[in-house]
Chain A
Amino acid sequence: MVRRVVARATPWLLLVAPLVLLFLFLLLPYLLTFYYSVTGATIGHLSNVPLVGSANFQAVLTSRNPPFPGVLFVTAAFTVGTLVGSLVLGTVLALALYTVPAGRRSALLAVYLIPWVIAGVVIGYTWKLMYDPEIGLANTLLEAVGVSPVSWLSDRATSIAALVVANVWAGYGIVLLVISAALANVPPNLILAGQVDGAPVARIVRRIILPAIRPAVLLAALVALVGGLNTFDLIYAMTKGGPLYQTETMALEMYRLTALKGSIGQGAAVTVILFTISLLLAVIYVVLWRREARKWT
C-alpha cells in the first residue's frame, strides 16, 4: 500500500527539484511580470502600485516612438531571417559534410561551432567592428573593388540584414551539429536501397535523406527560432536598437522601457505580448513534433 503511494508519487518527487527551480526563477518572475503589466509601476515606484488595466498595452500598441508594427516587423524579420539562414546554411553544410570522412568531419564541425560558444556581447562587438564604416572589413573589401562605403548598421536598408548575418554566424553551428548527428544515424539500408535503384545523388538526398532527418530538422528549427526570438545581447551591443528604433526587436523594446526608461508596467506589457507569441509558436511546435513522432512509431 505504502509502496504504491510511493510509486505513484515518485515522478512528482523527482520533479520537485526542477519544479522548484523553475518555479522560483522562471515562472514566478513571469507571473510578477504579468501582474506588473496591468499596473502603473515605475522604477521609482514599485510598491502599492495602482492598477491601470490595459493602459500599458494601449501605450505600447499605439506608441509612435517606436510604432508597434515597426517593432513587430523588426522582430519578425530578424527571427525569420535567423531561422531561415541558420537552417539553410546548417542543413546544406551538414549534407556537404555527410560524405566527408568522420575524422575530418569532426574537426570541421568543431571549427563551425566556434561562433556558437562565444558570448553574445563579444559577437556583437566583433561584427560591429566588421561593419564599421571606417575600419570594418566589410567596407574595406568594398573599397578594394571600388564600391563606396556603406553604413551597414545605421542605414535603414541594411541594418536588419546586417544583424541577421551576425546572428546566423553565431547560431548556425548548433543547427549544423544537430543535423549532422541525425544524418549519421540514417540507416544505411535506406541509402543503399536508393542506390540499388540507380537514383542520382540529388534524388537520394531529396527523397530519402531529408525525410529521414525531419525530426532533427524540427529540433534544429526550434533551437534556431529560440535563438532568433531570444537574442538581446548581440543586438544591444551592435546597435542598441537604434538608430531611431530601426533595429529594435521586442526584446530590446522591453529592456529599454524597463531598465532605461523605468516604465516597468510598459516593459512588462511588451513581455506579455512576446510571451503570447512564444506560446503560439510553442504550441505549433509541439503539434508538429507530435505529428512527426507519430510517423516514426
Chain B
Amino acid sequence: MDLIRLSVVQRTLRLILIVLALLFTITPLLWIISIGLRPGSQAIFPISILPSSLTLDNVYAVLFGPNAIGLTPYQNAAVYGITAAVTTAIASSLGGYALARYDLKAGQAVLIVILALSFLPAASRIVPLFILLSASGHYGDPLFVTLAYAAGSTPLGIWLMAGTFRQIPIRLEQAARIDGAGAFLTMRRVILPLAIPGILVVATLAFIDGWNAYSLPLILIPKDTAQPYTVALQAYIREVGFGNNWSLLSAGSLVGLVPVLVVFALLQRRLVRVGGLGSAIRG
C-alpha cells in the first residue's frame, strides 16, 4: 500500500517483525530436515545444529525399507482429499446459494446448530459413525469416511459461499432472467464464473482437511492398504521407531510434508490472491 509512509524506525520494526515471523515459521521445518537427513548416529545427545554429513537413508527406510509405508498411503490421501474437495464444493455452493438468495429463518437456526457442531473435533464422530457404517454394511469403506470429512468442512463452506454469493449483485441474475435464461443457464453462465474464487477457496480448504485426515481413518479404515499417510506414518513410527526414533520420525514427517507443500505451491496463488478470500469474507 503506497498510501502510508513509514519512518525509518517503523520500517526497521516492520523488517524485524517479518524476519522473526519467517524464522518462527521456517525453523521447525529446518530442524526436521536437519535431523531427518543426517545419519542416525548423529542424532544423539549432545547434538550439533548442523549435521556433518547428509544422507537419504532415513527417507529411504521410511519409504522403501523393511516395514516401509510405501507410496500407497499418499495416493490414498490424495484420492480422499480430492473427493472431499469436490463434495464440499458442490454441497457448499448449493447451500450457500440457497442461504444467500432466500431468507430462510429456519435456515439460520439450522446453520447455527450445524456451525456449533463443526466446532467439535472430528474424532467425536468416531463411534456413532462406526455404528452407522457397520449397521449399513459400509464399515471400512474409505468413501464414507471421506464424506464424513466433507460434511465437517461443509458448514464453514456454506458460510463462505453464502458470503460469496451475496457479493454477486442480484441485478445480474435478474437481468439474465429477463433475457429469458432459465435457472440453470443463469447459474452456469452468470453466477458460477463470478463465484469461482470462492469455490476454489472452499475446495482447497476441504482438500486440505481430507488430505490431512487422521482421527477418523485411524479407527474407521482398518485395512492398511486403504489408510492415508497420516495413519500409516503414525503406525510406522510407533512400531519401527518405538515412538522415539527421531531419525525415522523426521524422515517420515519430511515425506509427509513434501507432497502437501508441492500442491500448496501450485495452488497458493489462488488462495493468497486477495480477490478470492476477500470476496468470500466480505459477506
Chain A residues in the interface with B (C-beta under 8 A):
10-12, 14-15, 17-19, 21-22, 24-30, 32-33, 36, 46, 89, 92-93, 96-100, 106, 108-122, 125-130, 132, 134-135, 137, 140, 143, 169, 173, 177-178, 180-185, 188, 191-192, 195, 201, 204, 215-216, 219, 225-226, 229-233, 236-237, 251, 254-255, 258-259, 264, 267-268, 271, 274-275, 278-279, 281-283, 285-286
Contacts and interface: CB of A to CB of B under 8 A. Distances in A.
B17 A92 contact: yes
Given A15-B98, A122-B233, A258-B126, A233 B214 contact: yes
Nearest to B100: A11
Contact of B4 (A98, A274, A275): A98
Given A25-B148, A233-B215, A251-B123, A117 B260 contact: yes
Nearest to A237: B234
A110 B25 contact: no
Contact of A32 (B45, B128, B150, B230): B128
Nearest to A258: B127
Contact of A89 (B10, B21, B87, B101): B21
A204 to B, nearest CB: 7
A108 B18 contact: yes
Given A117-B208, A118-B212, 13 more contacts: A14-B94, A15-B98, A96-B17, A96-B18, A122-B230, A169-B28, A177-B277, A178-B281, A201-B6, A204-B4, A230-B119, A251-B121, A279-B113
14 contacts: A10-B98, A14-B97, A18-B158, A24-B151, A98-B1, A121-B233, A125-B253, A126-B253, A129-B32, A135-B45, A181-B274, A185-B282, A204-B4, A215-B282
Interface of A is mostly: helix
Interface of B: 1, 3-7, 10, 13-14, 17-18, 21-22, 24-29, 31-32, 35, 43-47, 49, 87, 90-92, 94-95, 97-98, 101-102, 104, 107, 112-129, 131-132, 144, 147-148, 150-152, 154-156, 158, 183, 208, 211-212, 214-215, 219, 230, 233-234, 237, 246, 249-250, 252-253, 256-257, 260-261, 263-265, 268-269, 271-274, 277-278, 281-282
Can you list the 8 inter-chain pairs with the closest CB atoms, starting with the nearest? A25-B151, A29-B128, A119-B212, A18-B95, A32-B128, A278-B119, A282-B116, A11-B102
A177 B25 contact: no
A111 B131 CA distance: 42
A259 B126 contact: yes
Contacts of A215: 281-282
A92 B268 CA distance: 22
Interface hub of B35, B94, B121, B282 (most chain A Cβ within 10 A): B121
A275 B104 contact: no
Contacts of B17: 92-93, 96
Contacts of A264: 127
B22 A111 contact: yes
B219 to A, nearest CB: 6
A78 B272 CA distance: 28
Among A22, A126, A232, chain B packs the most CB atoms within 10 A around the CB of A22
Contacts of B155: 22, 26
A18 B99 CA distance: 12
Contact of A118 (B120, B249, B260): B260
Contacts of B91: 17-18, 21-22
Contacts of B47: 134-135, 140
B204 to A, nearest CB: 9
Given A93-B21, A98-B1, A259 B233 contact: no
Given A15-B107, A26-B118, A177-B277, A99 B49 contact: no
A263 B49 CA distance: 45
Given A191-B4, A282-B112, A254 B124 contact: yes
A120 B123 CA distance: 13
Given A18-B94, A119-B256, A255 B123 contact: yes
